[in-house]
Amino acid sequence: MRRKVSIIGAGAVGATTAQYLATRNIADIVLVDIVENLPQGKALDLLEAGPVIGYDCQIIGSNGYEATTGSDVIVITSGSPRKPGMSRDDLLRVNMNIVRSVTEQAAPLSPDAVIIVVTNPLDAMCHVALEASGFPSHRVIGQAGVLDAARFRTFVAMELGVSPRDVHAMVLGGHGDTMVPLPRYTTVSGIPVTQLIPPDRIQAIVERTRDGGGEIVRLLGTSAFYAPAASVAEMVEAVLLDENRVLAASTYLTGQYGITDLYVGVPIKLGAGGVKQVIEIELTDEERAALHRSAAAVRELVEAMRQLA
């Protein structure tokens, strides 16, 4: 039986995720959205591209959840988009209700699925999906670190005039202004970036990475979607093909890095069934303090949600 990925939310991120996954041809795809005819139209358009691109997976759109039954992966992109001048934190009240609703409808139909949350504020929304699904925490994760690292890699490559394929980076912490890019763990074909770029320029790249989403919002007037969707597709592929990829993702910590009962971005081993291992890397006192500040910001959101509930 062919594997199935259900994407809840057929907006720009959801539809582009479906497109990237279709080109990989590794699973059938279901697009779900409350807007009548939107997921059906996008699914049909993607399906008709198959003969040209060369994929033969099935892609369907639906305004309900029955078609998602038996999904291997559920991707949650539903939510209010980020608008100019709006922080991720501003999205808290509206998006927690949306994520709770879609999770409660999708999870019972696919009790063995891995849930990948994309909706912002990302780390807080993972808590909502975890509670609403009743799944074990290793099967509920958030897409953040792959995107944040991709932005960091892009800016390093631009600075050096090298291929971004040769740049590897690590970004920890909450998905937002308090994220923690780690120059010490960033390399260009194995060469530490600290040997290639002056400290002041590294700091400028770190700041641009932290503001990566906001920069896109200011330019487009809405949230990014190409890079987030590509990052989701990479995570979905790691799960479906049991690749054991070492990627950064928002993961429920149970004492690792001195953080307990909180979703925070850290490196994990990702494969079939979700998180197989939380990887603890050595941090300096400054890096650990920055990670804990980021975690504290996430915890504030979680507490705020409890008061709103």
Tell me which residues are annotated as active site. Answer: 175
Handedness of CA 97, 98, 101, 106 (dihedral sign): negative
- Give dist(CA 230, CA 305) in Å, integer: 29
Angle at 122 between CA 35 and CA 103, to 5 degrees: 50
Residue 61 in contact with residue 196, Cβ under 8 Å? no
- Give dist(CA 264, CA 173) in Å, integer: 5
- What is the DSSP secondary-structure string of 98-124? HHHHHHHHHGGG-TTPEEEE-SSSHHH
Residue 7 in contact with residue 29, Cβ under 8 Å? yes
Give the distance from CA 205 to its chain's centroid.
21
Dig out the tokens for 305 from the structure.
Answer: 């949600």
